[in-house]
Amino acid sequence: MKNRWMLCGVALLLFLAIYAKPAFADFPRQKLISSKFFNESQMIIVEANGWDTKYAKLSTYEKIDGVWQKALSDMPATIGYNGFAQVMKEGGGASPTGIYNIGTGFGWAAKPAGTTYSYRVTTSYDYWVDDVSSPDYNKWIYFTGNPSSRWKSFERMNHPLYKYGAVIKYNENPIVAGKGSAIFLHVWKSSTSATAGCVAVSEANMKNILGWMNSKKKPLIVMGPTAKIDGYLYARSEKLNEVDILVNGVKHEFDQPPVLIDGRTLAPFRGIGELLGATVEWDATNETVHAELNGTTVELKYLSNIVKINGKSITLDTAPIIINNRLVVPVRFFAEAFDAEVKWDGSKNMVFINK
C-alpha cells in the first residue's frame, strides 16, 4: 500500500510538471510580455509591495526591433492613500489594478520640449467630473460656466499637481457610475505624499515619461501588487492578424497560424522550415533554432534580432517570439536565407513562397 501511494504521488508530480501553467518565477517578465503583448510597443508597470502601501515602483518597457526591453531607469512612485483597491469605488482613496491604455498627456504647463506624445494644455475651464449622478461622470469637460451649478463634484484640470500628467483610461468602456474616476499619472506633492487614487512621480520623471511615450506605440499601464502583476500579464489575450502561407502554390496549415506583427509575418519555425526542405532542430538549453539546407545553415535565437547565416551575424528588425507555446520566426528572412522567393499580397493577407 505504501508503495502504491508513493507511485501515485510521483505520477501526480509528473502530471503537474507537464500540464501546469509556467511558474512566473521561472518565466522572466520580458519573456512573459513578449508572449502576450503583440499590438503594443510600450508599457509602464506600477507595482507595490502589497495592497495597503502608498509606495510603489514604476518601470518602463519598450519593444524595439521585435524585442521587449527595459527603457527608462526604474523610478519611485506613490499611489492612493489606501494602496491598491481590490474593489474600486468613488472616493475610496485607492488606485485601480489591472491593465489600461494610456490616454492623452496634459498639463497647465507648456508641452515639455522634445515631447512628441499627444498633449493638451489645460485651462481654468477644464474639469474632470466625479459626480456619480451626472451623465458627465468620469469625463473631461470644457465648461465656461459655474461648475458648481452643473456638478456636485469635480476636479480642476489646472490643479497644481497637474503641471504635467497623462490620463489613465480607467472605467471608460463602459463608464460605470461609482466605480472610480479621474485616474491619472501626474506629478507628486512629495516622495512621501499619497494620492487619492492616481499614480504620482517626481516632476522630472513625469517629463521624462512624456518625452519617452509614443502614441504610435500604444502605451499601456499595468498596476497592482508585485505578487499580482505577472498574473495580469499572463491573462492577457490579444486578437492577432492571421496570415495564409502558400508554398509552391499550395496553402499550408500550421498548429499555430502565421501572424502579422509590426508589419512582419511570423510562422512556426519547424513547420515553415520543413516545408522549405530544411532540417530543423531546437536547442532548448540555449533557446536557439538551427536549420540546414544544401550547405546553408541558419541560426535564430529566441527574443534576439541577431541571426546567423553560415556563422555570419545579421541584425533583423524583428525577432523570434513565442505565441501559444509555439516559437515563431520571421518568414521572409527564414525563406530567403534558403534561396526561396517570397512575395506578400496585402489585399489577400497572404504570403507566397516559391522554391
Grid cell, residue 94, equals 485607492
Q: pTM score, two decimals?
A: 0.88
Domains in the chain, CATH or no CATH each: 26-234 (2.40.440.10), 241-354 (3.30.457.10)
Average pLDDT of the residues in 185-196: 98
Grid cell, residue 329, equals 520566426
| Inter-residue long-range contacts of 133-137, CB under 8 Å, 24+ positions, other chains counted | 133/177, 137/175, 137/177, 137/181
Other residues' Cβ atoms within 10 Å of the Cβ of residue 65: 14
Which pLDDT band, with edges at 50, 70 and 90, does 210 fall under?
very high
Beta bridge partners of 158: none
**Pairing between β-strand 165-168 and β-strand 98-107 as defined by DSSP bridges:** antiparallel
Residue 246 has pLDDT above 70, yes or no: yes
Residue 308 has pLDDT above 90, yes or no: yes
Average pLDDT of the residues in 281-307: 95
Select from 318, 321, 328 the least CA-distant residue to 255.
328
pLDDT at res. 28? 84
Average pLDDT of the residues in 303-316: 95
219 in Cβ contact with 42 (< 8 Å): yes
Select from 70, 69, 30, 66 the least CA-distant residue to 305.
66
209 in Cβ contact with 72 (< 8 Å): yes
Listed in order, strand segments (DSSP E) in 123-254 are 126-129, 140-142, 154-156, 165-168, 184-187, 199-201, 220-225, 241-242, 244-247, 250-252
Distance CA 210, CA 165 (A): 8
Go through the chain and tell me how many residues it has.
355
Residue 127 has pLDDT above 70, yes or no: yes
- Over its C-alpha atoms, the chain yields an Rg (Å, rounded) of 25
**Pairing between β-strand 42-48 and β-strand 220-225 as defined by DSSP bridges:** parallel
Average pLDDT of the residues in 116-127: 98
Residue with the larger pLDDT of the pair 9 and 79: 79
Which pLDDT band, with edges at 50, 70 and 90, does 355 fall under?
confident
Residue 22 has pLDDT above 90, yes or no: no
Grid cell, residue 324, equals 501559444
Question: CA 275: distance to chain centroid?
Answer: 33
**What mean pLDDT is reported for the chain?**
92
Residue 261 has pLDDT above 80, yes or no: yes
Could you tell me the strand order of the sheet in which 279-283 lies? 279-283, 288-293, 296-301, 306-309, 312-315
CA distances from 32 to 47, 67, 266 (A): 16, 12, 18
Grid cell, residue 222, equals 499595468
178 Rama sector, left if φ>0, alpha if ψ -120 to 50, beta otherwise = left
Select from 323, 344, 307 the least CA-distant residue to 65.
307
